[in-house]
Amino acid sequence: MNNKHFILILLFALVALSLSAQVSNDKASFGLHFGTSSGNGYSMRWMGETLGIQGTLGAYTLGNNDVKFGTYHYDDLDSTADLINVTKKGRSTYASAAVNGIVILDHFNMGRFYLMGGGSYHYNRKTLHTATYEKNQYTDSYGYSRIDYILTDDPITRSNETEHGWVVGMGPGVELGITRHFHVSFELPITYDHKDDIIMYIPQVGIYYYFK
């Protein structure tokens, strides 16, 4: 991460924290939010008359490390290599945290229209399993044979692939009251991420239960 990225993230964090210091806890809510700069997972919202603050935190694990490799491999018949490595994904773990400030632009009968800005950080770790296959040497046989299958059923190597990423964004949103307590929210931010990509038109959505 270069200095430009660090300063940008710090700026958004300071804006969000300054908003949180001014928000009264008149309307606190708990729910789920899914988006790029909003983060993915459980979310808390505190909404005042003109300002709000939102925090999101989520994590999950998918897959398992019980990865099986077949004795033969036929997907690379055009390859001229004597040895090839076949990699399969095992267990993956994902975590996300985000903070966003909200400036309420207008109130209407069923909800409010607002501008939301902030950012999210995510961590993703994948376990990769790799086995080596040898090209069959017989003239009447095709494909590759796993060279270690006689000795063990385990892959030859295991490695972890880790990604740290962040997204900052700002854009309009609307919150609609379905009932007195349940509200849904939609946002359409412009975002900038750790890959230097600027992306627009990826919606964010949330559902909240308000305690008051």
Surface-to-core class of residue 114, CB atoms within 10 Å of its CB (0-12 exposed, 13-18 middle, 19+ buried): buried
Query: By the 8 A CB rule, do 122 and 175 touch?
Result: no
pLDDT in tens, the chain (212 residues): 555 555 555 555 555 554 544 444 458 999 999 999 999 999 999 998 899 999 999 999 998 888 877 777 766 656 667 777 788 888 999 999 999 999 999 999 889 999 999 999 999 999 998 888 877 765 445 677 776 654 555 556 788 889 999 999 999 999 999 988 999 999 999 999 999 999 988 999 999 999 87
Could you give the CA distance from residue 212 to residue 194 in angstroms, rounded to a whole number?
38
Q: Which amino acid is at 123?
A: Y
For the segment 16-66, what is each residue's pLDDT rounded down to a tens digit? Answer: 554 544 444 458 999 999 999 999 999 999 998 899 999 999 999 998 888
| Kind and range of the H or E run holding 139 | none
Q: Is pTM beyond 0.85 here?
A: no
Q: What region does 112 belong to: left with phi over 0, alpha with psi -120 to 50, or beta? A: beta
CB neighbour list of residue 195: distance below 8 Å, 6 or more residues apart = 165
What is 3-210's CATH number? 2.40.160
